[in-house]
Amino acid sequence: MSSQVYTLISPTFRQLEKPNEDLCEKHADFLRYFLHRLISCRHRQLSRPFTHDGRTYRSCASCGMRREFDLATWQSKGRYYQAEASKADMLQ
């Protein structure tokens, strides 16, 4: 028999999370976020918007990470992402 505990109050019988594990996970997530912000690039020097292959984005001048850009509202949107290099880009 399984050692997992299920709630009988909920009609979906969702699994109860152990409070200590949930708390440890939250602390680990906070620590990971804090260290990432402390050590990594802050993306403060962004380029002007570029449109390439139908995508508009701004690039960080320090680390090269990109962020989507909306031309209609003239605002950045979404998370930063690393641009994937294609074979054609490498040969140029």
DSSP label at 27?
H
13 or 23, greater pLDDT: 23
- Tens of pLDDT along 24-77? 888 888 888 777 778 888 888 999 999 988 999 999 998 888 999 999 999 999
Domain limits, the chain: 50-84
Q: Rounded to the nearest 10 degrees, how much is the dihedral formed by the CA atoms of 35, 36, 41, 43?
A: -120
**What type of residue is 50?**
F
DSSP character string of 39-86? HS----SB---EEETTEEEEEBTTT--EEEEETTTTEEEEEEEPPPPP
Please, which residues bridge with residue 66 across strands? 59, 81
* pTM (predicted TM-score): 0.53
